Every structure is written in structure tokens, then in C-alpha cells.
């Protein structure tokens, strides 16, 4: 048996960083693991916000982000940079997270190096290859390349079994985003901006909005923003807080439709700490984000998802998340329903934890130690009842 294994974490965007951070912090405490951190920086500013919050210093930073980058740009630049890094470091295991293009490029590069791949947040599926695009294919292809699959829930575990992934290679861990959330949300949190600290969260109803999905760019997003204009004009106690994604294609339509409207606050992406605490204070959340669908149920916040499909059915089953698409009238109707009907609001505002219990990173490290024979105890799976 070896004394240590070298585990390289590869990531590049904001959500991967938030969800990898607990795994990295846990690896850094583990004497059997020598961690190496390689970021592609597919996102620059939004990645750095997270690295800073969790005090993570990458060993390698490929700095690939370019304005208007295409999927081809990201894939090529990430693979060529990661090839050099893996040639130099020769890791025993490469950990990737989720479903971004960095994820897939990281897994494919590791495979070309004949290096084992561990996939964190494995097994999520919509079974529609263009929705979400390109994430459904990124995670499927990564799954095909992976040797260790860290499925967050029993549903994702079943998906992998149905694709003939050997049972012994799958560990149900919970989602590491809940670990990150537990570290971050506090009842006594104070915002450091006058806007967020100045809002009367008891008497105003804050609708927190985020949009970024590639398949929603352009007209679908425009319809959502038109719906928001109407809502704000009808409800004087509603304040919209919208941290606008850095993608210029998102920012353009947002400012055209929602710029200079009273009670609509367009702000830059927030650091994770204020954002998570803002979710905690919000009345309801409107989003096309994957991660927010997982976090909000833990905080008891209703989420209306601006998409036609989701790979995260657990909170929909639990009743705290609803899939509503992007048609203007549907968005108006669903938001008004939650603003007008207290009992429907209370029904959705139920706190539930289908995605994790805050111990996912520990289970992932335990699974790695088990696989590499540092331990003979297979970690217990995460279950919703825990």
C-alpha cells in the first residue's frame, strides 16, 4: 500500500468552486492525500470570489476565460492547459465536479493520461441532450469516463445503475453544496452593502432572481424580465434583487428590460456569503440555476425554476420547487399565485433537505480512502431521513 495518493481537483466556474471547496478543505486535512488544485478559470471574477472566500490557493491557474468564449474555445484551452499540468504532476486520481465544459475537458484529459477520474455530483440527468445545453452531455460523457461516481442522491444513484455503472463504483454522498451552505448562512449575518442591509425584509417581499442558462439566452430571458416588470408595477411591497451574471449576453437584455425601474435592483454577482444569506432572507426565488435549486429547499424558500426540464427532481417531489419555464404569462401567473395565496406560499416554503446533510465532502474522502485501501470501511450512503 502507498503512503499517500495524489488527488488533483480540477474546476473552473463559480458553482464548481463552491461545491468543490468543501472537498478540498477536507482533503487538506487528510494525511493520506496530497491535494493538487488546478483551475481552468473558465470563469475569472466569479471563480476568484469563491477561492477568496474559502481561502483556496490553486497550484495551477490556466486563466483561460475570454470574452464571448465558445464551447470550442473552452474545451481546447482547458484540455491543452490540463495536459501540461497532468504531464507534470502525474496524479493518481483527478476529481471533477458536475457538468460544465471544464468538467468534461478535465475528465477527458485525465482519461487520455490513463488516470483515474472521480466524478463529484454524478448521475444527474434530464435525458434531453439539448436541455440543459451542454450540461446534460457534459455530465453523461464525464460519467462514461469516470471510475468513481459520487452520486448526491438515491435518484442519481439509480440513474447510474440504469446506465450499467457497477454498483461498487458508486457512492451516495449528498451534495457538497449543502456542506458549503452550512458553513455560510448565519441568522445574525450582516450585509456589507447599504442596499442589502437597508431593505426591510419583514415588510417587503424580496424576489431574488438569477438567470444564465445558454438555452435561455435571448428571447426566453426577455420574456421573464417582461413578466418581472409587470409584477413590480402591480405589487408595491415587492423588491427585486437581481445579481446579474457576468455573461455580456445576459447583461445586455437585463439592462434593456429592467434598467432604471423602481424597486428593481440590478447588482453584480454577489460573493457566496452575502448571496447565501440573501437567499435566507428572500421571500421567493426565481432562477434557472442548478445549485440554487439545491440550496433554497434547505432554507425553506420557494423556488420557481425558469426552465422546461430539471435534473433535480427531489425538491419538486418535496413541493418546494416548481418548474415553470420562461413564458411571460406563466411566469406572471406563478409569481402572483405565491404573492397572493398565503396557504400556497406556506405549502412551498417548507424546509426540506433532499440534497444533503452537510457531510458529503467527508463521505467523498472516506470513499477515496476506501477505494485506495487506506480504510476497509465503505462509507454509509446519505439518506434523506438522516
Hey, which residues are catalytic here? 99, 121, 135, 212, 214, 245
State which residue, 112 or 130, has the beta carbon closest to ligand UDP: 130
Supply φ then ψ for residue 374, to 5 degrees: -85, -15
State which residue, 156 or 289, has the beta carbon closest to ligand UDP: 289
| Residue 210, contacted partner among ligand UD1, ligand UDP, none, CB below 5-8 A by kind | ligand UDP
Contacts of 70 (CB under 8 A, 6+ apart): none
List the interface residues with ligand UDP, window 130-189 (CB under 6 A): 177
Instruction: Tell me the three cell numbers of residue 249.
Output: 449576453
The 8-class DSSP code of residue 111 comes to: H
Q: Is the separation of the CB atoms in 143 and 149 below 8 Å?
A: yes
Q: What residues does 116 pair with on adjacent strands? A: 93
Say what the alpha-carbon torsion angle 256, 217, 311, 152 is, to the nearest 10 degrees: -70
Q: Is the separation of the CB atoms in 323 and 307 below 8 Å?
A: yes
Binder to ligand UDP among 272, 283, 355, 382 (CB under 6 A)? 272
CA distances in angstroms from 39 to 8, 163, 326, listed in the order given:
10, 30, 33
- Does the footprint of ligand UD1 cover residue 264 (CB under 6 A)? no
- Does the footprint of ligand UDP cover residue 276 (CB under 6 A)? yes
Hey, is 282 helix, strand or coil? coil
Hey, is 328 helix, strand or coil? helix
| Residue 246, contacted partner among ligand UD1, ligand UDP, none, CB below 5-8 A by kind | ligand UD1
CB of 309 to ligand UDP, least distance (A): 13
CB of 249 to ligand UD1, least distance (A): 8
Which strand (E) or helix (H) includes residue 273? helix 272-281
| Residue 68, contacted partner among ligand UDP, ligand UD1, none, CB below 5-8 A by kind | ligand UD1
Residue count of the chain, please give it: 386
Binder to ligand UD1 among 1, 3, 57, 68 (CB under 6 A)? 68
Q: What residues does 242 pair with on adjacent strands? A: 266
Cα–Cα dist 106/295, whole Å: 26
Supply φ then ψ for residue 4, to 5 degrees: -145, 155
State which residue, 100 or 159, has the beta carbon closest to ligand UD1: 100
- Does the footprint of ligand UD1 cover residue 72 (CB under 6 A)? no
Supply φ then ψ for residue 76, to 5 degrees: -65, -50
Instruction: Build a one-symbol-per-residue string for 322-361: x at contacts with ligand UD1 by CB under 6 A, - elsewhere.
Output: ----------------------------------------
- Does the footprint of ligand UD1 cover residue 69 (CB under 6 A)? yes
State which residue, 89 or 99, has the beta carbon closest to ligand UD1: 99
State which residue, 18 or 361, has the beta carbon closest to ligand UDP: 18
- Does the footprint of ligand UD1 cover residue 302 (CB under 6 A)? no
State which residue, 93 or 284, has the beta carbon closest to ligand UDP: 284
Contact footprint for ligand UDP (CB under 6 A)? 14-15, 18, 177, 210, 212, 243, 269-270, 272, 275-276, 289-292, 295
Amino acid at each position: 500500500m502507498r503512503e499517500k495518493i495524489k488527488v488533483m481537483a480540477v474546476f473552473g466556474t463559480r458553482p464548481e468552486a463552491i461545491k468543490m471547496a468543501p472537498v478540498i478543505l477536507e482533503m487538506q486535512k487528510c494525511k493520506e492525500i496530497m491535494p493538487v488544485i488546478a483551475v481552468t478559470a473558465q470563469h475569472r471574477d466569479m471563480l476568484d470570489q469563491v477561492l477568496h472566500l474559502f481561502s483556496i490557493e490553486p497550484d495551477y491557474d490556466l486563466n483561460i476565460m475570454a470574452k464571448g468564449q465558445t464551447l470550442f474555445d473552452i474545451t481546447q484551452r482547458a484540455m491543452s492547459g490540463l495536459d501540461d499540468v497532468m504531464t507534470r504532476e502525474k496524479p493518481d486520481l483527478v476529481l471533477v465536479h458536475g457538468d460544465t465544459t471544464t468538467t468534461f475537458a478535465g475528465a477527458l484529459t485525465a482519461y487520455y493520461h490513463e488516470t483515474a477520474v472521480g466524478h463529484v455530483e454524478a448521475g444527474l440527468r434530464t435525458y434531453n441532450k439539448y436541455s440543459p445545453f451542454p450540461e446534460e452531455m457534459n455530465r453523461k460523457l464525464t460519467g462514461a469516463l469516470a471510475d468513481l461516481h459520487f452520486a448526491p442522491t438515491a435518484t442519481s444513484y439509480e440513474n447510474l445503475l440504469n446506465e450499467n455503472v457497477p454498483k461498487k463504483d458508486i457512492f451516495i454522498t449528498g451534495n457538497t453544496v449543502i456542506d458549503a451552505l452550512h458553513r455560510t448562512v448565519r441568522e445574525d449575518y450582516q450585509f456589507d452593502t447599504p442596499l442589502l442591509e437597508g431593505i426591510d425584509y419583514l415588510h417587503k417581499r424580496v424576489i431574488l432572481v438569477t438567470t444564465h442558462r445558454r438555452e435561455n439566452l435571448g428571447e426566453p430571458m426577455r420574456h421573464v424580465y417582461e413578466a418581472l416588470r409587470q409584477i413590480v408595477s402591480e405589487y408595491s411591497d415587492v423588491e427585486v434583487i437581481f445579481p446579474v451574471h457576468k455573461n455580456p449576453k445576459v447583461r445586455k437584455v437585463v439592462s434593456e428590460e429592467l434598467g432604471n425601474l423602481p424597486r428593481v435592483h440590478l447588482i453584480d454577482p454577489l460573493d457566496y456569503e452575502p448571496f447565501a444569506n440573501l437567499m435566507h432572507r428572500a421571500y421567493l426565488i426565481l432562477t434557472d440555476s442548478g445549485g440554487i435549486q439545491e440550496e433554497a429547499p434547505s432554507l425553506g424558500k420557494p423556488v420557481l425554476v425558469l426552465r422546461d426540464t430539471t435534473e433535480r427532481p427531489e425538491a419538486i417531489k418535496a413541493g418546494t420547487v416548481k418548474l415553470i419555464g420562461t413564458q411571460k404569462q406563466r411566469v406572471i401567473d406563478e409569481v402572483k399565485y405565491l404573492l397572493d395565496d398565503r396557504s400556497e406560499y406556506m405549502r412551498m416554503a417548507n424546509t426540506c433537505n433532499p440534497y444533503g446533510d452537510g457531510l458529503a465532502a467527508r463521505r467523498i474522502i472516506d470513499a477515496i480512502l476506501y477505494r485506495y485501501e487506506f480504510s476497509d470501511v465503505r462509507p454509509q450512503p446519505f439518506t434523506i431521513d438522516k
